Amino acid sequence: MKNKSIFVACDTSKINKIKKIVNQTKTNKLKIIPKFGLQFFYSKEGRGFLEKIKSDFWLDLKINDIPQTALSAIDSLKDLKKCKYITVHANGGLEMLKAVKKKSKKINKNLKILGVTVLTSLDNKSLKQIGYTKKVKQLVLKQADLIKKSGCDGIVCSAQEAKIIRKRYKNLLIITPGIRLPGDSSNDQKRIMTPKSAFENKVSGIVIGRSLTKGNIKNNTKKLLDHLGK
């Protein structure tokens, strides 16, 4: 668990719920960093909250657009001083990924750009429906090559692909969503894994949402600590 990161997905637009998640997942045994996605960022009070937050956070926007629009989007976020991670989607292509990484260096030297691969809600059948001819693992490896070549700091993929990516890239940040505590429902995720199994696959960090935020957050956090032997 040394130098491993845990991110809690704050998937709500309610400020009171966000504050509860952030406060009740705090523990001196692990550093748990909040991750804010589109639901909260697009909400009426979300942007203002992120301007004032005192702790590091991850802004999960999955930016995917033409290079100029993507780097302009990154530039518009420069006031979010505590933002440590931002996601861009590999589907935007090499030039977009490179443009975003280059811009990030100018606005915040501590900002890390993470490239998103195939979403964990998708499987081989889903990809075929969209029009892809490659299977999930093949496509994720292809996207990993693109992300590495662009100079981005890390990759977001399911824990099921993490092991093969780690073999190819020893020093790349690998962060995995689709994490569930043992016995929890998979909900809308297709490619899931437990926290312990994910770390055994050599990931750098995990994203855990409903397993922590649904129900009693403090009890859920304790279950996570017990599961990891902390």
Active-site positions read 62
Q: 205 to each of 30, 179, 188, 224, how far by Cα in Å?
A: 12, 11, 21, 14
CB-CB contact of 174 with 165 (8 Å): yes
Cβ neighbours around 188 below 10 Å, total:
10
Q: What residues are paired with 174 via a beta bridge?
A: 155
**Which segments of the chain does DSSP mark as H helices, in order?**
15-24, 38-41, 46-52, 67-75, 94-107, 124-130, 136-150, 159-168, 195-200, 210-213, 217-227
CB-CB contact of 57 with 35 (8 Å): yes
Convert 202-213 to b/e letters by CB count within 10 Å (16 or more is b).
Answer: ebbbbbbbbbbb
Q: Which helix (H) or strand (E) holds 174?
A: strand 173-179
- End-to-end CA distance of the chain, in Å? 9
